[in-house]
Structures are given as C-alpha cells and as structure tokens.
Structure 1
Amino acid sequence: MGIYHAYKLVIRRIYKLYKHVGIILSILRGYLRFKQSFIRRDIEGTGALAQQHSVAVFIHWEAKGFVHPYVVHYLEALREAGFSILFVTNAPKLPERSIEILKPLCMRILWRKNVGYDFGAYKEAVLYLEDQLPHLDRLMLANDSVYGPLMPLNRSLQRADPALADVWSMTDSWERRYHLQSYFLLLYPRALKSQEFLSFWKQIRYVNNKAFVISKYELGFTRAMLRGGLNVHALYPYEEIVAKVVEAWGSGARNTRELRKLHERTRAFVDQILDFIITGMPVNPTHFLWDQLVLRMGFPFVKRELLTQNPGNVPWLTLWEGIIRQASEYDTRMIRDHLKAHSQQR
C-alpha cells in the first residue's frame, strides 16, 4: 500500500471516529438537558386556543424564518378541515413579516430553539396543551416536511374513523419495525386521555441527532401507543399501497408493450421495486411509490425531501409537476418557488 493510500485510510478512519464521537456527545448532551422548555416567545394569534376542541400542532423550520406560500396553503387547509392551529417554529429567527402572516391563521405561535428536532417541538406543544388534552375531540401533529394538501384534506380525514383506531397517520412503514410515519398524526380522545400518550412525551430528551430521534422516538411512539392498548392505523396503509402498485406494474406487466417502451433505467427501477415488494422487503412509499400514491389513491401530499434531495434516486422526478397536475388543481408554483428558494441555501 502506497503512502498516499495509507494516508487516505487514516483520514477516513479519523473522520469516522469523529462522527461516532459527535453522535455520542449529542446524545449525552440531550440526556443532560434538564431545561423543560426552549420556547423563546409565545405569541398570541387570532382566537382563544384553550376553548377549542380540534387542535392542530404544526411544526416549522426555515433557515431565515420565512413562511413560504406552501406552508400558508397547508395552514389554510387545516383551518378548512376544522382545526385551530398551534404553530411551533424551530427557525433560528422569526421575522415580524412571518408573524404577521401567521397571526390570522393561528391561535398561538411558539418560537423555540431547534433542540430535539420535530419531536422536541412536538413535546413542547403537547405539554403546552397538557391541561387541555382530556377535553379535545381531535389533536393533529403535523409538520412542513410535505407539500400539499393537493386535495381537500377532509377527503382523507373521513377515513379516520375513531371506532377503528385511536391514533392515525397518513402512511405507515415496516422498515426496521412497524410504525406510523410522524409527519402527520391524528389522535382521538381515547389516546389523548391515556397515560401512555402523555408519559411518552414527558420522557423525550432533547437530542440533536436525527438517527437517534427516528430510532428512539418515531419508531418508539407507535410501540408506546400499542403498549398502552391503543389501536393505531394509517389512512393509506402500506399493504393497500403495494396492492395498487402490483395491480399496475405486476401481473405480467414486466413483459407488456407499455413497460418495454420505458427507458432502461425506469424498467430497472420498476423491476427492483417489484422484487422488493414480492420478497417482502419494505420500501418507503412516500418516496419510491409517490406517483402511484398521488395518481391512483388520491394521496394529498408529496414529501419535500423527495424533490429537494431525492435520496433514493427515484427516476423521472423532473416530471413531478405534470403528475401533480393530473391529479389535482394544486398551484404547483408554490412548490417551484420553494425549490428555488431552497436551492439558494445549499
């Protein structure tokens, strides 16, 4: 081995060790944070939150504290669906212009330090509402990690029958273990009055490590709810999604004339996803099956990360706008404008 390659190997190992140490330190800092609240400002909006029976907690982050039009659209859709909004932002700053945009839409606005990511913000919001929880008919936990709703939100919410489940999500996942995906959660009184629900949020530590938060809290939330004897369900369950995909792509479709016309990379992608489904290997439907969700199932959201980063290398994402327009009257300029703004932050 040459000196140059040995040098590269040493640097790579040092960097790997540095990352592991950083992860351990961030977790330790989280467990040593005894401060109960990281709220910087509590701002009054429009209306009395304490008198409401359907509340949506909406979590926001933006580098400059801007409230983009796609977020405004989401907030308006929540209000149309009958929810009063507690807006929580983890942004490093909150301009007065943003506050003026939010005040007519939200009953309270909490600006907090970005400690613990979305689950840290969810925790502070739930504890802020602690005395009100037993009196709520519905509590929604949502965030700005999706574009939409592409369709009226009540079309999806009418599926959320409290007789079938106490806790609902838009989508669920079998990756690692079964869990509800936390970008959209809807809870009914039986969950809100349960000791397990409040205990889960009280035990959360403000850890600034994404992998830890997902493993411990996103996956842990569903486990805690099930342990408390609560029923959990997804509005668009994974089994229903893959059944639609197999219907569209499977049943001999690999040899159809339509599929043969596809670009070679697209055919390879379709084959790979079908192989995963057939062999029982779970995939993230909001990424790998996003177009089927929107076109075939009327799913009301597109994950923001899919369009800004495309971590799964999903092909033909450049066609996102046309696909959304096929299924919805959503103003895609809101997404385009946000993508332009996001590109300037890299």
Structure 2
Amino acid sequence: MVGSSLLWYLEALSRCGDIVLAADTGFRDGELEKLKGLCLHAEGCAHGEYDFGSYKRGWRHACSSLDMRAYDFVYLVNDSVFGPLYDLSPYLERMEGMGCQAFALGIHPGRHSTHLQSWFMGFGREVFTASWFGSFLLSVERQGSKEDVCEKYESGLTRLLSAGGISFGGLYSLPGKSVYNSPYRLYRRGFPFVKKSAFTRHGGSLGRQLRAVLDSVPDGCRNAVLEDASRLFGREYVGWLLSCSPSGAARRYLHYLFRKVFSRP
C-alpha cells in the first residue's frame, strides 16, 4: 500500500532528484496512481529479497531506460524508516561534500569491520559507473534470512569498496542498535529519520522517546507517521505506546528484560 508516510518520503526525495521505485510487494489497483508526478517509474512484486532485491530491480530499470551518465550521484534508499523529520537537501549536500565516492546517512562501526547501513546510501560516478557495481546489484538473490542478506550484501558491498581502494563514510556513526533504540537522542543530534521498528522494540519502552520526536516535527510529517504507524501496528497499540510516562517506560523496559532473560533456553 502507498501510505501517507511513503508519500511524505517520496515528496522529499523528488525535490532532490529523479526517483525509480521498486517495491517488495504488489500494488493494488489504483495505488500506482498516487505516485504520478513523484516517480519516473514505479513497480512492485513480492520477491522476498529484502532491500537489495528492490535495489536490483530499480537499478535494472534505470540502466535500461535512463542515461546514467547524466547523473552525478545515485542513491539507494528504502522505506524501513519514517521521515524525513527535517529538510533532506542539506543532508545530501553534506554527504556529497564528504570527498568520498560512497557514503551513507549511517555507518556502523562494527567490532571487526565497519559497513555502510544500506537503508540510505549514495554513490558517485566512480562507483556507480563501474562494471563491478552493476554486476554486484544484478547478482542479488534470495537469502535464507535477513542476517544473511546483511552479511552478503550490506557488509559485502562495503568489503568490495574497501577491496577496490574506494573511500567511504557516513554522516552519523551508529554503533550497536542505536539507530533503533535511541530515536529521540538521534533526533536531537539532527538525525532525519526514525526506524519503523522502534515502534515495536523493547516492549514499548521507546514510546516516550517516539512521542517526543513526533511532538517536535512538522504537522504534515507527524500526521503521516501516525496514520501509517496505526495502519501497520494498530491504532490501539500506537495509542498505548505513545501514552508512556517516565516511570511507565522504565516498567515496560524492565518487563521486556525479564521476559528476555527468562525466555532463553
């Protein structure tokens, strides 16, 4: 379904450049009509290959239908987030000015290896016109789990960049699960998105943080997020989630920890 939050996201992206959209779902009759004027092309099918499967399909269409030499940068982004919470253009300008040919909004400083977080990545001409880049995307296949996708494609792409001596960087260092678990702290640092999964993590204990973010963003953004969050997670649940006092957040988190510890085999 083309929901309000996706339209908010696409409207922001369309002010920055051209959009080719590929979704891991089929569209109902009339849904694609909502995207007219926002996307050069939109398609959808349930492929089960996660974000990289959609990137593959979008890339294939772009290369067959567009003059890629006319573009300075290519971005691969997915809708695992709500937002943008701020004007998006300055973030693209900052990333494009980093002096790197590959970059992301978030970079994960792993214990053994650092990788670009795949939900919002950008690439300069040196990368996206290279034959290995297209070959990598077109080689994407369905994997057994999300973890396998992350290892083979998200981390794998960063390994290819490193092996080729291509510099890369990120605007925000996001260690551990901070991109999911610290929505308000990141918002105060200027981070322009909230991960959708923050709405269901840690037994609802992030509700107070999420409410603080939503109370701070423009009305159009807040309304779009609330409408789609209610559709995805249930209106009653979202109401409960966001009606969280400081002591309530603490109780929810303790309850989550208790269940996590005692549910282990």
TM-score range, shorter chain: 0.7 to 0.9
Shift of 1:319: 4.0
Q: 1:191-340 alignment to 2 at 5 Å?
A: 191-238=127-174, 282-295=175-188, 297-307=189-199, 309-310=200-201, 312=202, 315-326=205-216, 331-340=221-230
Superposition TM-score, scaled by structure 2 size: 0.79
Distance 1:147 1:124, change over 3 A: same
Query: Does the 8 Å contact 1:77/1:153 carry over to 2?
Result: yes
Work out which of the residue numbers 79, 95, 101 in structure 1 matches 2:28: 95
Distance (whole Å) between structure 2 residues aligned to residue 236 and residue 330 of structure 1 = 25
Distance 1:342 1:227, change over 3 A: same
Query: Does the 8 Å contact 1:148/1:302 carry over to 2?
Result: yes
Shift of 1:340: 1.4
Distance 1:288 1:135, change over 3 A: same
Shift of 1:178: 0.8
Identity of aligned residues (%): 25
Match of 1:246 in 2: none
Match of 1:7 in 2: none
Q: 1:33-182 alignment to 2 at 5 Å?
A: 66-81=1-16, 83-91=17-25, 93-130=26-63, 132-162=67-97, 164-175=99-110, 177-182=113-118
1:184 and 2:76 aligned: no
Distance (whole Å) between structure 2 residues aligned to residue 99 and residue 217 of structure 1 = 29
Q: For each residue in 1:214-250, what CA deviation from the matched residue of structure 2 results, as whole angstroms up to 9, or x when unmatched?
A: 1111111111122122111102234xxxxxxxxxxxx
Q: For each residue in 1:90-110, what CA deviation from the matched residue of structure 2 results, as whole angstroms up to 9, or x when unmatched?
A: 21x311231110122111112
Query: Does the 8 Å contact 2:83/2:221 carry over to 1?
Result: no
Q: For each residue in 1:250-270, what CA deviation from the matched residue of structure 2 results, as whole angstroms up to 9, or x when unmatched?
A: xxxxxxxxxxxxxxxxxxxxx
Query: Does the 8 Å contact 2:183/2:209 carry over to 1?
Result: no
Aligned residue pairs total 233
Distance (whole Å) between structure 2 residues aligned to residue 160 and residue 152 of structure 1 = 14
Distance (whole Å) between structure 1 residues aligned to residue 100 and residue 217 of structure 2 = 28
Distance 1:330 1:285, change over 3 A: farther
Distance 1:213 1:90, change over 3 A: same
Match of 1:261 in 2: none
Query: Does the 8 Å contact 2:95/2:105 carry over to 1?
Result: no
Distance (whole Å) between structure 1 residues aligned to residue 114 and residue 179 of structure 2 = 15
Distance 1:88 1:208, change over 3 A: farther
SS at match of 1:130: helix
Shift of 1:285: 2.4
Distance (whole Å) between structure 2 residues aligned to residue 78 and residue 299 of structure 1 = 16
What code does the residue aligned with 1:109 have?
A
Distance (whole Å) between structure 2 residues aligned to residue 96 and residue 327 of structure 1 = 32
Q: For each residue in 1:269-324, what CA deviation from the matched residue of structure 2 results, as whole angstroms up to 9, or x when unmatched?
A: xxxxxxxxxxxxx42221233211111x21110000111x21x5584423412234
Query: Does the 8 Å contact 2:5/2:221 carry over to 1?
Result: no
Query: Does the 8 Å contact 2:73/2:123 carry over to 1?
Result: yes
Query: Does the 8 Å contact 2:103/2:122 carry over to 1?
Result: yes
Query: Does the 8 Å contact 1:196/1:228 carry over to 2?
Result: no
Which one has a bigger Cα radius of gyration? 1
Q: For each residue in 1:50-71, what CA deviation from the matched residue of structure 2 results, as whole angstroms up to 9, or x when unmatched?
A: xxxxxxxxxxxxxxxx111110
Shift of 1:87: 1.2
Distance 1:135 1:321, change over 3 A: same
Superposition TM-score, scaled by structure 1 size: 0.62
Distance 1:97 1:287, change over 3 A: same
Query: Does the 8 Å contact 2:161/2:167 carry over to 1?
Result: yes
Note the aligned Cα RMSD (angstroms): 2.4
Distance 1:340 1:149, change over 3 A: same
Shift of 1:339: 1.8
SS at match of 1:158: helix
Shift of 1:127: 2.4
